[in-house]
């Protein structure tokens, strides 16, 4: 797909010659596919150079458009760091706490959104580290009533499950659904005011300057179509496997804290923390067993700070592991993970006398 | 009252030291943990919750824990 796109979509879609018109047609097709997948019209979808770029640009443009009202950005404590940094750069921030499952405190969110001087509220569709879904439908109603636009970071959800409607803007990232790196989505509902922070550029209404990466956009659209075709089946499979993992880890490992909402969550993510276990040692031990997992423990971060998500939830941050199932994951792998993990945890604990 | 100086240690070490000191405490005793690893601010309270012990105070890199059982 990518190679085919390189052959037929190399030209500038803004030009009127034959190759340019072909490129334009391909870009329009990719945009139509991507727009439909996130539930907007093609003219409401901007293609950016990454999911992070979509967040940075979108958050800044939405906030700047309401500068006469204020510069406060309301966000949950468990947003992706791209959102936290963009919010801090755009103005003053109001952080809203979460419960121990990682779900935003809606009453506090409503109070924060209704305050004077709020330019924008932003809430993720689901948490990228622990999988807990956020109450987007109710947050949308709160924002609509207050007349405050809502930006939803849907990077963790798009390709896996639908995001409830009602938001003003939504962002996503192609590599999260198996598409290429370098493609982000910024969907903005008509009627939402934007003031791009970039210098004037004719591309993407000035929200994503520069020559478009058409082959990557086509590949992103094809990957999302393919992903959505199998999403229902994968959802069923992954939910069952994660539920089994949850149950087996809690039963077979002493002092393990499985975190995140057990039901109202993304289908493919499981996060847990093992008491007295060094996260880096556990990630390394699992790697040696052929499992590539992430960790929110401080020792695995360049900053030596624990995951702000786990800290906001008040759950154990050391000995933390995040398992993400891929479309190619098999039950045998899930079963082997649950079988080898207790021994690895025991070994690491024994090394520190626990 | 016992004090554990875990300054300079990274998690999970302060929590391990706390757990290892616990058997020597009588029910009702308190122990003070000095820990400057940022992860301790989450992990010591989380340990108290998981172990059903009481976190008496947590401020300025100093955590006071009471043994309840």
CA proximity to A237, closest of A267, A201, A207, A273: A267
Q: Report, at the CATH architecture level, how domain B2-66 is classified.
A: 2-Layer Sandwich (3.30)
Positive/negative CA dihedral, A28, A31, A36, A40:
negative
Q: What is the pLDDT of residue B56?
A: 97
Q: Name the residue among B19, B38, B47 with its Cβ closest to that of A306.
A: B38
What does the pLDDT profile of chain B (69 residues) look like in tens digits?
789 999 999 989 999 999 999 999 999 999 999 999 999 999 999 999 999 999 999 999 999 999 998
Three-state DSSP state, A97:
coil
Q: Test B19 with A276 for CB contact under 8 angstroms.
A: yes
Q: Name the residue among A276, A315, A352 with its Cβ closest to that of B46.
A: A315
Q: Test B42 with A278 for CB contact under 8 angstroms.
A: no
d(CA A76, CA A278): 28
d(CA A330, CA A328): 6
d(CA A22, CA A10): 9
Domain boundaries, chain B: 2-66
Secondary structure (DSSP) of A323-349: EE--TT--HHHHHHHHHHHHHHHHHHH
Q: What is the pLDDT of residue A30?
A: 96
Which of the residues B17, B40, B42 would you substitute to probe the A interface, choosing the one with the greatest number of A C-beta atoms within 10 Å?
B42
d(CA A157, CA A51): 13
Tell me whether B12 touches chain A (CB under 8 Å).
Answer: yes
Cis ω before A107 (30° cut-off from 0)? no
Q: What is the pLDDT of residue A1?
A: 65
Contact B17, B6 (CB under 8 A): yes
| pLDDT tens track for A65-101 | 999 999 999 999 999 999 999 999 999 999 999 999 9
Q: What is the pLDDT of residue B49?
A: 96
Domain boundaries, chain A: 2-226, 230-351
Any bridge partners for residue A104, and if so which?
Answer: A98
Contact A279, A299 (CB under 8 A): yes
Contact A77, A207 (CB under 8 A): no
Distance between start and end Cα atoms, chain A:
53
> Which residues on A lie below 8 Å from B16 (Cβ)?
276, 352-354
| Strand duo A118-124 + A150-153: pairing | parallel
Number of C-beta neighbours around residue A198 at 10 A = 14
Domain A230-351 has CATH 3.90.1150.10: yes
Any bridge partners for residue A173, and if so which?
Answer: A184
Q: Test B46 with A354 for CB contact under 8 angstroms.
A: no
Domain A2-226 has CATH 2.70.98.10: no
Residues of chain A with pLDDT under 50: none
Q: What is the pLDDT of residue A9?
A: 77
């Amino acid at each position: 797909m990518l190679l085919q796109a390189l052959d037929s979509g190399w030209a500038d879609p803004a030009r009127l010659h034959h190759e340019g018109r072909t490129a334009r047609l391909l870009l329009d097709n990719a945009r139509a596919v991507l727009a439909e997948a996130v539930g907007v019209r093609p003219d409401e979808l901007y293609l950016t150079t990454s999911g992070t770029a979509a967040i940075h640009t979108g958050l800044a443009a939405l906030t700047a458009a309401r500068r006469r009202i204020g510069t406060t950005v309301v966000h949950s404590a468990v947003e992706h760091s791209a959102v936290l940094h963009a919010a801090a750069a755009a103005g003053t921030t109001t952080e809203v706490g979460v419960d121990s499952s990682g779900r935003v405190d809606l009453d506090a969110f409503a109070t924060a959104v209704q305050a004077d001087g709020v330019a924008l509220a932003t809430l993720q569709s689901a948490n990228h580290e622990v999988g807990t879904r956020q109450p987007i439908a109710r947050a949308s109603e709160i924002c609509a009533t207050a007349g405050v636009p809502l930006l939803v970071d849907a990077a963790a959800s798009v390709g896996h499950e639908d995001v409830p409607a009602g938001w003003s803007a939504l962002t996503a990232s192609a590599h999260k659904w198996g598409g290429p790196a370098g493609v982000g989505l910024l969907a903005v509902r008509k009627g939402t005011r934007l003031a791009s922070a970039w210098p004037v550029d004719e591309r993407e209404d000035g929200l994503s300057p520069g020559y478009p990466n058409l082959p990557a956009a086509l590949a992103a659209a094809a990957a999302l179509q393919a992903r959505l075709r199998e999403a229902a089946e994968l959802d069923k499979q992954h939910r069952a496997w994660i539920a089994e993992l949850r149950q087996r880890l809690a039963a077979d490992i002493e002092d393990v804290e499985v975190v995140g909402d057990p039901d109202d969550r993304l289908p493919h993510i499981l996060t847990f923390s093992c008491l007295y276990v060094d996260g880096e040692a556990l990630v390394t031990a699992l790697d040696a067993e052929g499992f590539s997992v992430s960790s929110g423990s401080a020792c695995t971060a360049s900053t030596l700070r624990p995951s702000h998500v786990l800290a906001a939830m008040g759950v154990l941050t050391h000995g933390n592991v995040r398992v993400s199932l891929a479309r190619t994951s098999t039950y045998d792998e899930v079963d082997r993970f649950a079988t080898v993990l207790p021994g690895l945890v025991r070994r690491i604990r024994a090394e520190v006398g626990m | 009252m016992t004090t554990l100086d875990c300054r300079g240690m990274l998690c999970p070490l302060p929590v391990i030291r706390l757990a290892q000191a616990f058997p020597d405490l009588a029910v009702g005793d308190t122990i003070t943990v000095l820990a400057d690893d940022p992860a301790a601010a989450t992990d010591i309270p989380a340990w108290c919750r998981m172990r059903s012990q009481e976190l008496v105070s947590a401020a300025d890199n100093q955590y006071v824990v009471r043994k309840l059982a």
